[in-house]
Chain A
């Protein structure tokens, strides 16, 4: 019995699932109708649907962040800005016309995603080839990214007036679930399949645990790290396109704002070590949904958007502090002391 209990608590998914349940229980107590799902105009409505819907772009970002953290032991803090760049490229290339896009829809999206990947290439080049600390390297795009997005939009908010543009961020006709959910599931499945059925997942872990050792056993460490950053750029691009489709515009100042912290938080909450190495995609996905649930419930408690970071920052620090080896050492020392005391008493 105790062994089973230990097995459960030792599992990497234990903490994220408990956190998610905590947030959900809290919400149910506050709003009893929390789990109610109604059907309106052939689409599903409800708190849960809303959370899953809003969490989609975060899930996608968290997946990109997970592979980056796993391979390079550093985080990509430019994801929010890169999302803004992608959104700007898409809106700029599609144009504000009501009747027709300037370029075909898929070309516009493709250009946006290419922009995201290009940002990833830049980050990857700095981290993998120039051997710069990941967070400093991505700091460059973190600040410059929004400037670039502003320049693409010429300092204005470009609205894409064509109605079809909103489909990606809302509902496809006749489908009861919001589109972003499908996109997120698609990204999860593809990433999972790539990592599961090729050796890439193993390589990423090997490089993350010890990149020198990885190189010695014949893995091209810097190429792997490079690849993960490009993938993270692509993920940022995808989530940027979803966010921009939700508002049918590119708001360079606000798209993906503060998402970098959410994405890091999702990865950390998912039980992934920020020190690189072993990772779990499922953990990050659950982490991302937990954070979105937390955000939604904080909004419900009249916390404004610009006050939100304060709570998230505290949660991040607590999680990371609990994860830290020093804390674990201190905790196990304390436990041992108690055990000795108990023995002495008996």
Chain B
């Protein structure tokens, strides 16, 4: 039986399958246990995407970095900084929403350049570089403003609250009122990014180079790939995606404050790892990361629907899940090593 699986499914698909199965089981269980609290409603399902659009984009960037064998723990504070920058620019400097977003994205690219240079060209451990990056951005957020800023920019709010309805999924609520499930534009952006990056990783030269570099740096170098440039570009992409994720996150919260998105990096890393990205690099899939994000969202929904548990439980459960999947990965790796 085990041999049957071993022959047909390799570890990557195995991990991905476990993740998808886990999500279906968890959500299914939620639908049965909390049926009376609206867990089975389509809107509840769409809320998963609405609440986590930013995380999806960030996790996609994280997956790219992790495929090269690196890691980026600065994304949480980059997201926090993005929100603060947007809020400050729009509220105090009266910069139009579009320009503010563009400035933020440019900052993300520059930040990615610096981190990428330090990792790829000076060969400093990615963890140390991005740990410093994490504290840098968190500090910068506090330098910009230490108070909470609510965004009241008309254009920004319009984008944030523009509802896209799905009339064919409409259901009646208890009072007989018709409820049409909806999503916000942020979800669409997240999906466009997801699909674009999926295609890029799968079918472009750069995408394949990322896998090659992560799989074995020496071989990639001998194959004639420019390892350093590939790594650097990945970090630039990641910086861009982290700020884009930050914008989507901000569209959801419409505010900027220092403590925002603390622990976000953990959620992004956990989503990638749960989605089957190997920490050692070379293996990973953005679709898996999407399911990782959805699992995290489901746990959150469980905890909010349950009502009495403290929100700290989300983080603890995510950490445990991360630990579980990391251990699973290491078991797979040791099986592989034995088979050789």
Q: Are B266 and A143 in contact (CB under 8 A)?
A: yes
Q: What 0/1 pattern do residues 318 to 340 of B give for CB contact below 8 A with A?
A: 11101100110010011000000
Q: Does A261 contact B135, Cβ atoms closer than 8 Å?
A: yes
Nearest CB on B from A91, distance (A): 17
B146 interface residue per 8 A CB criterion: yes
Q: B residues 134-153 with Cβ under 8 Å of A?
A: 134-136, 138-140, 142-143, 146
Q: In this assembly, does A126 line the interface, its C-beta being within 8 Å of a C-beta of chain B?
A: yes
**Measured between alpha carbons, how far is A142 from B134 in the docked complex, in Å?**
14
In the bound assembly, the distance between CA atoms of A274 and B122 in angstroms comes to 14
Contact partner, B122, options A126, A133, A142, A324, Cβ 8 Å: A324
Is B110 an interface residue when CB atoms closer than 8 A count as contact? no
Q: Is the CB of A261 within 8 A of B131?
A: yes
What count of chain A residues pass the 8 Å CB interface test? 47
Whether A151 touches B310, Cβ cut-off 8 Å, given contacts A135-B127, A136-B71, A306-B138, is: yes
Question: Scoring A residues 301 to 320 as 1 if CB is less than 8 Å from chain B, else 0, what string do you get?
Answer: 00010111111111011001
Any B CB within 8 A of the CB of A326: yes
CB distance B312 to A274 under 8 Å? no
From A77, A306, A327, give the contact of B139 (CB < 8 A).
Answer: A306
Min CB–CB distance A311 → chain B (angstroms) = 7
Give the interface SS of chain A, mostly helix, strand, loop or mixed.
Answer: helix
If A75-B127, A321-B122, A326-B123 touch, whether A136 touches B310 (CB-CB below 8 Å) is no
Taking a contact as CB atoms under 8 Å apart, the answer to whether B131 and A77 are in contact is yes
Chain B CB within 8 A of A147 CB: yes
Task: Report the bound CA distance from A311 to B140 in whole Å.
Answer: 10
Evaluate contact between A139 and B73: CB separation under 8 angstroms: yes
Complex alpha-carbon distance, A33 and B335, angstroms: 65
Whether the pair A140, B323 counts as a contact (CB closer than 8 A) is yes
- Does A144 interact with chain B (Cβ within 8 Å)? yes
The answer to whether B305 has its CB under 8 Å from any CB of chain A is no
Interface assignment of A325: CB less than 8 Å from any CB of chain B = yes
Does the CB pair B124–A320 fall under 8 Å? yes
Contacts of A140 in B (CB 8 A): 319, 322-323, 326
A155 within 8 A of B: yes
A131: interface (CB < 8 Å): yes
Q: Which residues of B contact A139 (CB under 8 A)?
A: 73, 266, 269, 322
Contact of B319 among A143, A311, A321, A324 (CB under 8 A): A143
Q: Would B122 and A144 count as touching, CB distance under 8 A? A: no
Closest 8 CB pairs of A and B: A310-B139, A309-B135, A144-B319, A306-B142, A313-B136, A147-B312, A309-B139, A313-B132
Chain A residues engaging chain B, CB cutoff 8 angstroms: 74-75, 77, 126, 130-133, 135-137, 139-144, 146-148, 150-151, 155, 258, 260-261, 264, 274-275, 304, 306-314, 316-317, 320-321, 324-327
B residues with a Cβ closer than 8 A to A are: 71, 73, 118, 121-125, 127-129, 131-136, 138-140, 142-143, 146, 258, 263, 266, 269, 279, 310, 312-313, 315-316, 318-320, 322-323, 326-327, 330, 333-334
